[in-house]
Amino acid sequence: MTVALPEPYFLHGEPKQVLVFFGGTGHLFTQKILPALYFLQKEGRLEKAVLIAIGRRFSTQTEYQNFVFQNLKQHLPTAKDSSLLKLAKSFHYLSGSLEDAQTYRELNRLLPPLPQEIIFYLSTLPSLYQKVVLSLKEHVLSAVAPRSQKIALEKPFGRDEESFAQLESTLKTVFSEEEIYYVDHYLGKETVLNLIILKAENLFLERLLSGEFVQQVHFVVSEKEGVGERGTFYQETGAIKDMVQNHMLQLLTLLAVDIPTLCEEDRKECEQFVVTMNRRRTHLLEEVALPPAKEIKLGQYQSYQAEVNQLHSRVETLVQMPLYLQNPRWSGVPFWLSTGKKLAQKTSFIEVTFNSLTETPNRLLIEIQPEEKIDLIVNVKKFGRELRSVPAKLNLCLSGSFQAATPQAYQKIIHDILLGDHTIFPNSSFIRNSWKIIDKLLALIDKENLTPKIYPDHSPLPVF
């Protein structure tokens, strides 16, 4: 059903970019994308952009704009009502099902004859992605000819290597690799991006990050909340597909990669940096070795089965395991991954522990959540007459140091899509290789019949 169509916006002047959000009423859109759009608008980066949102929940544009305003107000309580209203009122809303060809015809009606660029942002059910792409091909892109077109997709990108290959092949009937942006919001976070600079611009650190000096690396993503309303989704996913396949392998490859020389101003050089980084990180995934089955610990929080109403569910809500890299730089170093839901703390960090002759080894701690900060733990002299040591932190608190709020990850993500900068987006080969690892891991778990052990809700890590 499509009602109360807004006027075609091109009557109001020549837009530079048209952003079409599929799932414009959903959780991710309201929690993350809307606040990011607010900040981008404030920075003047959406001056010539037209925003179109598609959903089913509301019938009229006014209802939708009210919904946008209320959501913005909730997330940005200190912002001026007038600037929130400005953004809310700039949305064109299209009410309709993504499974209905009529919705795409109506979308056509809203688009100008020759837009400079159209960006399709898919923040809807992943099961609809292929349908949306094929419908765009049939009903939209055949009718309008933008000078440039892009598509951004939220994870998950398939359920395994095979389903990802199908998704990729559908995408590539319409979009080239350069036009596709696979969004992993972890890579938009300041501290994660800082890893690139820390490695590329601090030679001593890049050299220290190797098996010669490192005892182990630990990646932790611990959540306090359970699956909540996402039970159906989680039953088909579990912690390994939800967290390891994307965020954790992203972090692992960023930390372990042989970083190329960072680009300066030169555009060609910068493009080359991205290409080389992506190629090296994708190749690293081919060097990942799984641990013996006994080192893989799976868990499920106590109230999970009742929460998802599946009394015999074997879905893991927690995984703790090491991965190894079979290359000269990292041979023998365990990269521990720990991720789980309904744990004691909401936190995510990377901890690098260096080889040591003392009881308190040096550590590099890169905290991503709740704060974005970097600590180097060194041993210094304990105050007093004796020559004794005590561990101390050399601290870089990102928000504090630079006197500004760290930009939200989604602000960077959308800005980079507008600019066409691929640095923080995994490419298809990376995703394909990461699924290969996950498929092998799940086959091993199946073969060894590993089942999750129950852990009490809100347990601290390590759970087992």
Ligand X SMILES: NC(=O)c1ccc[n+]([C@@H]2O[C@H](COP(=O)([O-])OP(=O)(O)OC[C@H]3O[C@@H](n4cnc5c(N)ncnc54)[C@H](OP(=O)(O)O)[C@@H]3O)[C@@H](O)[C@H]2O)c1
Q: Which residues bind ligand X (CB under 6 A)?
A: 23-29, 55-57, 97-99, 123-126, 128, 154-156
| Residue 423: C-alpha distances to residues 193, 204, 209, 426 (Å) | 10, 24, 22, 8
**CB nearer to ligand X: pick between 37 and 256:** 37
Closer to ligand X by Cβ: residue 223 or 375: 223
- Count how many Cα atoms sit within 13 Å of the Cα of residue 267 in the half-sphere of its side chain: 3
Q: Which is nearer to ligand X, 47 or 99 (CB)?
A: 99
Shortest Cβ distance from residue 37 to ligand X (Å)? 15
Tokens of 218: 């630990």
Pairing mode, strands 335-340 and 318-325: antiparallel
The enclosing H or E element of 253 equals helix 249-256
Rounded to a whole number of angstroms, the minimum distance from the CB of residue 281 to ligand X is 21
What is the SS3 string spanning 287-339?
Answer: CEECCCHHHCEEEEECCHHHHHCCCCCCCCCEEEEEEEECCCCCCCCCEEEEE
The CB-of-231 to ligand X minimum distance in angstroms stands at: 12
Are 44 and 81 a contacting pair, CB within 8 Å?
no
Of all residues in the shown chain, the one whose CB is closest to ligand X is 26
Q: How far is the CB of 177 from ligand X (least distance, A)?
A: 20
283, 325, 270, 287: which is closest to 429 by C-alpha?
283
Q: Give the pair of three-digit tokens for residue 319.
A: 């995984």
Which CB, 71 or 124, lies closer to ligand X? Answer: 124
Residue number, 183 or 298, with CB nearest to ligand X: 183
User: Judged by CB, which is closer to ligand X: 111, or 288?
Assistant: 111
Cα–Cα distances (Å) from 351 to 191, 337, 404, in that order, read: 13, 11, 25
Q: Is 183 exposed, middle or buried (0-12, 13-18, 19+ CB in 10 A)?
A: buried
Task: Return the number of the residue (132 or 333) whose C-beta is nearest ligand X.
Answer: 132
User: Whole-number minimum distance, CB 185 to ligand X, in Å?
Assistant: 6
